[in-house]
Amino acid sequence: MTDLKSLILPDKVPQHIAIIMDGNGRWAKQKGMPRVLGHRSGVKSVREVTEAAAEIGVQYLTLYAFSTENWSRPPAEVTALMTLLVETIKGEIRDLNKNGVRLMAIGDLEALPAASYKALMDGIEKTKNNERITLVLALNYSAKWEILRATRQLAAQAQKGLLQPEDIDEQAFENALSTRGIPDPELLSRTSGETRIS
C-alpha cells in the first residue's frame, strides 16, 4: 500500500467511498465452494479496504452489505449471513478500536435477528469515540426503504402540527434520512464488476 499511497494526491481523496458488496456467493460457486464461504472470504476484503481507506484519509466508508431484497435468498444463506455478521463484529471490535474505526449502521436495523441487532449495537457503542474513519454498514437497507421511512417521519410531524407541508424542503427531507450527518458518497464501487446499482 505504501508505494501506491505515494501516487495518491491527498486533496483528491474522496471524503466518502461507498461499496456495494456483491459477487462473493457467485465467486464461491464458480470455485465449487458453498456460497457462504464466499461471504466469509469477503470479510478479509472488508478488513483490507477499511484499513486502506483509513490510511489514505477517507473519512467515511459505507458498505452496502445486506439489502431489504436479500431476505428473499434461501433461508440457510440468510441465517449464515446473519451469523457471519455477529461473528465478524465481535471478532473485529479490538482491531476497529486499534485502528480508530467508528462503526455506524443504517437501515431497518430493528428488523434484524435479535443476536445480529445486539452485536451491531454493541459494536457501535464500543467504537463510538473513534475518529480516524467511520465505517457505515447498510443492513436491511434500500433506497425505497429510506425514502418511505423519511416520508412517513415527515408526514407524522405534519400530522402533529410540528411541521407545515410547505416547510418540507430538501433540507427537511435530508434531516429525516438515516444518512443525515453523513456526506454523500463521492465514489461508488460494486465489487462484482457488474455495472448496476441495484
The catalytic residues are 22, 70
* Planar angle of CA 90, 67, 185, nearest 5 degrees: 85
Coil, helix or strand at residue 59:
coil
- Please state, in angstroms and rounded to a whole number, the distance separating the CA atoms of residues 69 and 178: 18
Dump the DSSP string for 93-140. Answer: HHHHHHTTEEEEEES-GGGS-HHHHHHHHHHHHHHTT--SEEEEEEEE
Kindly provide the b/e burial profile for residues 148-167, where b requires at least 16 CB atoms within 10 angstroms of the residue's own CB: eebeebbeebeeeeebeeee
Contact residues for 184 (Cβ-Cβ < 8 A; gap 6+): 16
